[in-house]
Structure 1
Amino acid sequence: MTATLEKPITAFQIKRIMQNCSYQVETKNEWVQWVTGDVNCTSLKSITHDQAIKIMHAQTGTKPLNEPTENWAVFDKANPKHKVILSLLYQMQWVKPSEKWGEVPDLDRLSAFLQSEKSPVKKKLKDMEPLELEKLIKALSGIVKHRYK
């Protein structure tokens, strides 16, 4: 996208950024300089819609909805404990449709679970030690039991 095709900042975004800065002009200037990478740029009207979104997410500590997350659910097909986890995903009905296979485990959901506070081990699946995998299997088994009470 060239600069001429990018959407300009909206009035709502200007208001929200200023609100998040407690209407402190110097603070707003720093945010504009940060997002543009230009120390001479201080006007909100000079930034794009996407840059405004980046500022607002940084101010509030939220993550943009379309921001890709790292996949923590990469399996080792030779590891028998990984195969147990795949089986548990089917039993928990954490699956999504697939044209080729009918349905497949929802690895995005597993990855989000591994990164959440609910996970007993906050690590990538491939980085887990055997005891950590056992903890994860026990937690997922608990979800299966709860589902079929």
Structure 2
Amino acid sequence: MLATKKQVIRIQAAASKRFQCREERLAFLSDFFNREIKSTKELAEWEAYELIVYLNTGKVRDNTSYARFDTQNSRHRTILSLCHQLGWTQDNGYVDLNKLGGWINSNRCPVRKRLKDMTEKELSCKIIPALQNMLIKKYP
């Protein structure tokens, strides 16, 4: 789900206090999300939420506890692979657990529990298909 109109308005209001022009705001957003952003309207709802928190507090919310995984669990490894394919990685090439945790903790995720607390059925039938659908939408 894309950012709501209220979120876009809040982002624009907070960002306009920090940046003089639209180009500066978009450059900041592109750096913040590690991808090119052409409009705040293209942000996901959970991304907009994270950005609003950052613009108002100066802090990035720590969602890594939602994304802690078990390397021995094949479904967790599948999720990590899908995150790599979605580009949810840090500069060092590892999966950005804060980004994954932010998604898990958002309304876009079909199961809002910590990854390690999810059942095999929730992982196989809800989480993995949701990430696969996101991948299909990203690379049609």
Normalising TM by the smaller chain, what interval? 0.5 to 0.7
Q: Is the 8 A contact 2:88 2:99 kept in 1?
A: yes
* 1:143 paired to 2:137: no
* 1:96 paired to 2:100: no
Shift of residue 93, structure 1, vs aligned partner: 1.0
Correspondences of 1:124-139 after superposition (within 5 Å): 124-134=114-124, 135-139=126-130
* 1:77 paired to 2:68: no
Shift of residue 68, structure 1, vs aligned partner: 4.8
The one of the two structures with greater contact order (alpha-carbon pairs below 8 A, sep at least 6) is 2
Number of residue equivalences: 84
CA RMSD in angstroms, aligned pairs only: 1.7
CA deviations on 1:20-76 (whole Å, 9 max, x unpaired) are xxxxxxxxxxxxxxxxxxxxxxxxxxxxxxxxxxxxxxxxxx784427535200010
* 1:121 paired to 2:111: yes
Q: State the secondary structure of the residue aligned to 2:111.
A: coil
Shift of residue 104, structure 1, vs aligned partner: 1.1
Which residue identity lines up with residue 59 of structure 2 in the other structure? N
**Which structure features the higher share of helix residues?**
2
Distance in 1, matches of 2:91 and 2:132, equals: 23
Unaligned runs of 5+ in 2: 1-52
Which residue identity lines up with residue 76 of structure 1 in the other structure? D
Unaligned runs of 5+ in 1: 1-61
Q: Which of 42, 47, 66 in structure 1 is aligned with 2:59?
A: 66
Q: Is the 8 A contact 2:62 2:98 kept in 1?
A: no
Shift of residue 128, structure 1, vs aligned partner: 0.2
Distance in 2, matches of 1:87 and 1:123, equals: 20
Which residue identity lines up with residue 62 of structure 2 in the other structure? T
Residues 65 and 127 (structure 1 numbering): CA distance in 2 closer, same or farther, change over 3 Å?
farther
For normalisation by structure 2, the TM-score amounts to 0.56
Which residue identity lines up with residue 70 of structure 2 in the other structure? D
CA deviations on 1:85-112 (whole Å, 9 max, x unpaired) are 01101111111111xxxx1111110000
Residues 80 and 65 (structure 1 numbering): CA distance in 2 closer, same or farther, change over 3 Å?
same
**Which structure features the higher share of strand residues?**
1
Of all paired residues, the percent bearing the same amino acid is 35
Based on CA coordinates, which of the two structures has the bigger radius of gyration? 1
Distance in 1, matches of 2:138 and 2:102, equals: 19
